[in-house]
Structure 1
Amino acid sequence: MISYLKGEVIQVQQNPPRVVVLTASGVGYTVTLPVFVEEALQPYEGQELGLHIYYSVSERQPMPTLVGFEEAGDRDFFEQFVQVEGIGPARAASALTMPVPTLAYAIETEDLVTLTLMPGIGQRGAHKIIATLKGKVSESASRPIETAAHRARVPDTRADVVAVLVNLGYRNNEAVTMVDDAIRRDPELIEDPQALLRDVFRNHPATPAVTQ
């Protein structure tokens, strides 16, 4: 089992979630970086990296999966996160766009708005996450947001909220109109995706139409 790797990046694959090949002691390791880690590190060939590793292998997935983190606490949260039904390592790596303390706090406070901002999760997935992990991630929720979190790119709030609405069943043009209407009502909402999404739901409570 591999718990930590330190070495040189010799290859960076461009498709998200970002995958890097890291050489350590003459051996190359393929490591997936969750979105928030990749955005903080901005990996490039020749870069020296030290990563805490989530390692997984199973009968269904005999090829080892390695996922890298700057902080051991983030790796520990990831190990809990992938226990949620329907969320494996690949999906989890793509979904983790926000700092771990932010997500853990959202779980402990049952903040569905924040959890549905994760790509590919939706309301059903958010409910599963809370049902599985509430009461188990309080330590992660109480950690200060540091290192990767501080350096992570501020998300495109408008695009993120539109993506959440589309994921919930709204047509893209409907979602864009609803979000733009909310921003016109209160331009400061663009600074807070949670507040923006709440405003959209408050002014458009109807169930989304089924996409044809």
Structure 2
Amino acid sequence: MIGYLEGIILQFESDGILLLVGNVGYEVLLNPQMVEKLASRETTDSMISLYIYYHQTDRQPKPVLIGFEFPEEKEFFQTFITVDAIGPMKAVKAMTRPSSEIARAIEKKDVSFLTGLSGVGKRTAEKIIATLHGKVEKFMLANQGENHDKKEMKTESFVLEIPDIGRQVEDVLVEQLGHSPASAKRMVREALETNDKISTPEELFDEIFGKD
């Protein structure tokens, strides 16, 4: 089974590319934002690497290769298609926004955002939330390219610099305010990313609840 390809773009299709790997050309389906990103380079000889989701079933006997720039995107996609109303072909077309934004909308139960995705109506959006809410928090920080690397470094620095403050606030959120451990960690993480000047538990609480 194919899980990764690295090659040269031979040509663009409306929903993907023809990727030359060695002497073999692979038709790879991409989400709309990925097609736009690659097409903006205005060249068909770019060397790229893609993480591949291989799709073939009785209903879809012809193998379909769906490409992703980062492994986190592929993992999110595999989680996304666990929703009954979302199959791989529908999912790749629906991903017109970054996976981090879609994950955030799911965790915030933002039906309006999800219905803005291609092919997703209100009923499907509600199914997505019902199925995945609480399961996609880890994808909320998964951005692309340089921003992805910077955010990982920034998050790591927060953990190293003020672990005690974060843990204190997480404990209060869970034990006194009734939040789940996962929710508490997310709230603390987002607050620290938003304000890197936080130095006390009080300031952290202000950042978390000042947005409500």
CA shift for structure 1 position 39: 2.1
The equivalent of 1:108 in structure 2 is 107
CA distance in 1, matches of 2:147, 2:4: 20
- 1:73 equivalent in structure 2: 72
Instruction: Name the CA shift for 1:148/1:66 in 2 (closer, same or farther; >3 Å).
Output: farther
Answer whether contact 2:9 2:45 (CA < 8 A) is retained: yes
* Mapped pair 1:20 → 2:36: no
Query: Does the C-alpha gap of structure 1 residues 148 and 103 become closer, same or farther in structure 2, counting only changes over 3 Å?
Result: farther
Q: 1:24 to 1:49 in 2, by over 3 A?
A: same
Which stretches in structure 2 are left out of the alignment for 5+ residues? 149-212
Q: Is the contact between residue 82 and residue 89 of structure 1 (CA under 8 Å) also seen in structure 2?
A: yes
- Answer 1 or 2: higher relative contact order, Cα 8 Å, separation at least 6: 1
SS in structure 2 opposite 1:142?
A: coil
Q: Distance in 1 between matches of 2:115 and 2:76?
A: 18
> Under a length normalisation based on structure 2, what TM-score does the superposition of the two structures give?
0.64
**Residues 61 and 103 from structure 1, CA distance in 2 versus in 1: closer, same or farther, beyond 3 angstroms?**
same
Q: What residue in structure 2 maps to residue 156 of structure 1?
A: none
Q: 1:118 to 1:148 in 2, by over 3 A?
A: farther
- Residue 9 of structure 1: CA displacement? 1.1
Q: Residue 125 of structure 2: SS of its match in structure 1?
A: helix
In structure 2, the partner of 1:89 is 88
Q: Deviations over 1:3-36 (max 9, x none)?
A: 11000111211x3xx2211111222111011012
- Measured after TM superposition, the shift of residue 68 of structure 1 is 0.7
**8 Å Cα contact 1:99/1:148 also seen in 2:** no
CA distance 1:139–1:39, shift in 2 (3 Å): same
- Supply the distance in 1 between the matched residues of 2:115 and 2:17 (Cα, whole angstroms): 28
Give, in whole Å, the separation in 1 of the partners of 2:146 and 2:32.
10
Which TM-score applies when normalising by structure 1?
A: 0.64
Report what 2:8 is aligned to.
8
Q: How does 1:12-51 map to 2 (within 5 A)?
A: 12-13=12-13, 15=14, 18-42=15-39, 44-51=43-50
| Pairs aligned (count) | 146
What is the rounded CA distance, in whole Å, between the counterparts of 1:20 and 1:38 in structure 2? 8
Identity rate, percent = 40
Amino acid at match of 2:4: Y
Report which of the two structures shows the higher radius of gyration computed on alpha carbons. 2
Quote how far apart the aligned CAs of 1:149 are.
Answer: 8.2
Q: Structure 1: give runs of 5+ residues left out of the alignment.
A: 151-212
Shift >6 Å, 4+ stretches? none
Alpha-carbon contact 1:36-1:149 (below 8 Å) kept? no
